[in-house]
Amino acid sequence: MAVVKPFAALRPQPELAARVCAPPYDVMTESEARRMAADESLSFIHVSRPEVQLPTGSSASSPAAYAAARSAFERMIDSGALRRDPAPGFYLYRQATRDHTQTGFVALASCEEYVRGRILKHELTRVEKEEDRVRHIECLSAQTGPAFLFHQPDATLAELARRATERAPEIDFEAADGVRHSAWSVTDAAVNGAIEQAFARLPRLYIADGHHRSAAAARVWERRPDDPAAAGFLAVIFPSDTLRILPYHRVVRDLNGRSSGEFQEQLGGVCARLPGDSPTPARKGMFALFMDGAWTQWQFRADPPDTGGAADTLDVAMLQRRVLEPLLGIENPRTSDRIDFVGGIRGTGALESLVQEAGYACAFAMFPTRIDELMAVADAGGVMPPKSTWFEPKLRDAMFIHRLGES
C-alpha cells in the first residue's frame, strides 16, 4: 500500500518560475552555484546553496549558511515571488526534452512508510549529509527539494495524469539546459480522492533519487511529532516505464604503481578486450576505457552461475569487484580520494578532459544501469554501489515547496 497525501504547495509566481526554480543543490559545484546565483538574484540557489551568499570557501553547513538560507527564503515569500496555494491538492510535474518526456504526481509520501521500509531504498546514506538536510529543513521549516520516487506502471494513475494535464499548465518554462518544466494543480476533491486511492492500491514505491532528503524528512518527523505536516515528505512520483537513466562514469587518479601497459595487461586477465574505439559501451557487461589519449572497449567475463545477489550483477559492481579493488587498490569507493564520479549528462568528452587536462590516469565509461535492475536490488533489500544511476532530467528545486508548521 502506497500512502500519499495532498498538500498546499508554496510555488513560484508563474511569470517568475524560470528565474526562481533551480537545479538540485547536490548536482552543482560551489563555483557553478556561485556563478548561477550571481546571474540571478531570484534564483533559489540562494536558499539551497546559501554559502553563495558568504565568502568563497565558506562552509555550506555552518550556522551562518543556514541563517542566510532562512533570510533568502523569507525574502522570496515576503516579495511574493513564492506564494502558497489556498487549499491542499495533488500536482502534476512534467519534464520534457527534445527526445524524452516524463510526468509524475507531486504529493507527500509517508515518513512512517519510509521508516517501516515500505518505500524501498537502494543506497546507503551518509550521516553528515543527512544532518545537513535536517538542519536545512528545520531552519526553513520547509522541504524545498523533492525526493524522486517511482512506481510500477498503473493504468488508473496514467489516465488520471492524462486528464489532469489536458489543460494548459499553470507553470511552464524552458530552463537554460533545454529541459521544459510544466506544472498543473488538481483542485477537484473527487479527483484528489481518486488519486489517493489509486496509489493506495500499489504494493510499494521506490526511491530513484533523494535518499538523503527522504531520510532527513523522516528524522525531522521523529523530532516534531506534534506537527502533522512533518509526517509527509515532498516527492514527485513517476511511473517506472517513463524514466531515463544515464550512466555514472568513473575516473581514477593513478594506476596504483603500474604503468598503463602493465595495467591493461592485467585488465586482460579479468576482462576481454573488444575491437573498436568507441567511448560508448553498446550493451550491459561492457565498458570503455580512456587512457593514453585513446578509447578501448572491454567486456566483463561471465560470473559462475548462481553467484551473488542482484546488486552484484550490476556493471558498476563488477567493475569495482574485478578492476577497481584488485587492480587499482580502491577498496571503498565511498571514501577513497583516488576515484571520482561523472554523471552521464556531462558526456564522455568530460572524461577525456579530466584525463588529458586534470591529471587523472584513466576513465571508465559505463553502460547505464536499467530500471529493472534497480528494482531487483531494492526488492531484495540490497544496496547498490555508490553512484550507480544518474536519473535525467533532474527535478528543479522550488517548483513545489512543502511548508511545515511553525516550531
pLDDT digits (tens, 9 = 90+) for 307-350: 568 999 999 999 999 999 999 999 999 899 999 999 999 999 99
Which residues neighbour 372 within 8 Å (Cβ) at sequence distance 6 or greater? none
Find, among 207, 202, 266, 270, the residue nearest to 236 by Cα: 207
pLDDT band at 156 (very low <50, low <70, confident <90, very high): very high
Quick one: pLDDT band at residue 407, thresholds 50, 70, 90? very low
Lowest mean pLDDT among 65-69, 250-254, 343-347: 343-347
Q: Could you tell me the pLDDT band of residue 28, with boundaries at 50, 70 and 90?
A: confident
Grid cell in block for residue 15 = 511569470
Residue 364's alpha-carbon distances to 95, 138, 261, 314, in angstroms, are 29, 40, 16, 15
Please give the domain boundaries of the chain with CATH numbers for all domains. Answer: 4-244+392-403 (no CATH), 247-389 (3.30.1760)
Q: What is the mean pLDDT of residues 288-295?
A: 97
Q: Which of 58, 214, 233, 50 is nearest to 129 (CA)?
A: 214
Mean pLDDT confidence for 184-193: 97
Q: Evaluate if residue 173 carries a pLDDT over 50.
A: yes
Residues 120 and 17: beta-carbon distance below 8 Å? no
Looking at residue 304, its pLDDT comes to: 62
Lowest-pLDDT choice from 43-47, 125-129, 375-379: 125-129
Q: Which of the four pLDDT bands, split at 50, 70 and 90, describes residue 9?
A: very high
pLDDT at residue 314, as a whole number: 94
List all residues 6 or more positions away from 18 whose beta carbon is below 8 Å from its beta carbon: 173, 174, 175
What mean pLDDT value characterizes the chain? 94
Q: How far apart are the first and last CA of the chain?
A: 31
pLDDT of residue 278: 96
User: What pLDDT is attached to residue 306?
Assistant: 52
305, pLDDT greater than 60: no
pLDDT in tens, 232-250: 999 999 999 999 999 999 9
pLDDT value for 1: 82
Task: Indicate whether 400 pLDDT > 90.
Answer: yes
**pLDDT at 258 exceeding the cut of 90:** yes
Residue 100, all three cell numbers: 524524452
Percent of the chain with pLDDT over 70: 98
